């Protein structure tokens, strides 16, 4: 049964519901939560809690778990589960944000990179290790978001970003079409695929940045189970008023 074939009528959302949403491009995770919370309030759920389990950047799409009512108590457990992504990485150039949020700041040779070298670089990046988050991220530094410091002109040379322990369980090369490669990644919570793209470039003696990202799985929830946001909101409107 597809998400669109499901019926939300008769559900008491205060008892708890996990909505698997395919986050739209250029929406923040908070935008999605806010939209769903507003729709629920219009149905009579005036004080209902709504939250998400695992942030996706605005330029990413895919599985976003939106926890409603008592399901918000499961947020921490859901966030801790393994994630899977498909990503396009552009070799030979870097950006300050490690993705398309900012324009290219440096270019590098990439013609020397073979398919075998790309596969070996991915293998070398697998396993448990410390990873430095992007400066353009929501990480807090002395009470400020890292991206706020970056927009104020700070750089990675002047701001110390605390590295996080992450695990790359599997990194697979799916497509090789220089200067672009497509990868599939299974990883732990807290992994920045933008940072992984930068690390791939460095491992290959070049530069790299992320050009697209899609979360295909979060724990046991997959993209095949996900609602399109518009369709979920439409089904909510058709459900029984609280």
Q: Which domain holds residue 135?
A: 83-218
Residue 37 sits in the same domain as residue 149: no
Tokens of 92: 């030979």
Residue 62 sits in the same domain as residue 89: no
Q: What is the pTM of this model?
A: 0.90
Mean pLDDT by 10 residues, the chain (242 residues): 68 93 96 96 93 93 97 97 98 95 96 98 98 73 55 55 92 98 97 97 98 98 96 88 50
Residue 214 sits in the same domain as residue 116: yes
Residue 73 sits in the same domain as residue 89: no
Residue 3 to residue 183: CA distance in whole angstroms: 27
**In this predicted structure, what is the pLDDT of residue 237?**
87
Assign residue 22 the CATH number of its domain.
3.30.2350.10
**In this predicted structure, what is the pLDDT of residue 111?**
97
Q: Which helix (H) or strand (E) holds 76?
A: helix 75-79
**In this predicted structure, what is the pLDDT of residue 239?**
81
**In this predicted structure, what is the pLDDT of residue 158?**
52
Name the residue among 182, 155, 157 with its Cα closest to residue 89: 182
> Can 57 be counted among the known catalytic residues?
yes
**In this predicted structure, what is the pLDDT of residue 134?**
84
Residue 61 sits in the same domain as residue 99: no
Residue 90 sits in the same domain as residue 158: yes
Residue 143 sits in the same domain as residue 232: no
Name the residue among 64, 48, 47, 68 with its Cα closest to residue 56: 64
Residue 213 sits in the same domain as residue 103: yes
Find tokens 């040779």 and name the residue.
109
Q: What is the total count of domains within the chain?
A: 2
**In this predicted structure, what is the pLDDT of residue 155?**
53
Residue 96 sits in the same domain as residue 203: yes
Tokens of 240: 């029984």
Residue 101 sits in the same domain as residue 171: yes
> Which residues are registered as beta bridge partners of 221?
218
Choose the catalytic residue: 7, 22, 31, 57.
57
**In this predicted structure, what is the pLDDT of residue 6?**
72
Residue 101 sits in the same domain as residue 212: yes
Residue 29 to residue 195: CA distance in whole angstroms: 19
Residue 99 sits in the same domain as residue 179: yes
């Amino acid at each position: 049964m597809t998400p669109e074939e499901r019926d939300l009528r008769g559900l008491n959302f205060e008892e708890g519901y996990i909505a698997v949403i395919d986050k739209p491009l250029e929406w923040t995770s908070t935008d999605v939560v806010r939209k769903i919370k507003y729709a629920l309030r219009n149905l009579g759920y005036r004080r209902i809690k709504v939250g998400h389990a695992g942030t996706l950047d605005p330029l990413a799409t895919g599985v976003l778990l939106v926890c409603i009512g008592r399901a918000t108590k499961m947020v921490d457990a859901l966030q801790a589960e393994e994630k899977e992504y498909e990503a396009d990485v552009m070799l030979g150039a870097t950006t300050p944000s490690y993705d398309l949020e900012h324009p290219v700041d440096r270019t590098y040779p990439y013609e020397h990179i073979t398919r075998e070298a790309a596969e070996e670089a991915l293998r070398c990046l697998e396993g448990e290790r410390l990873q430095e988050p992007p400066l353009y991220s929501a990480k807090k530094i002395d009470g400020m978001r890292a991206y706020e410091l970056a927009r104020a002109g700070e750089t990675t040379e002047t701001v110390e970003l605390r590295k996080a322990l992450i695990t790359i369980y599997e990194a697979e090369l799916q497509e090789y079409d220089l200067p672009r490669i497509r990868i599939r990644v299974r990883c732990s919570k807290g992994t920045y695929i933008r940072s992984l793209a930068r690390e791939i470039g460095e491992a290959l003696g070049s530069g790299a940045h992320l050009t697209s990202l899609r979360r295909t799985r979060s724990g046991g929830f997959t993209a095949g189970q996900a609602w399109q946001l518009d369709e979920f909101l439409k089904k909510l409107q058709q459900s029984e008023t609280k």
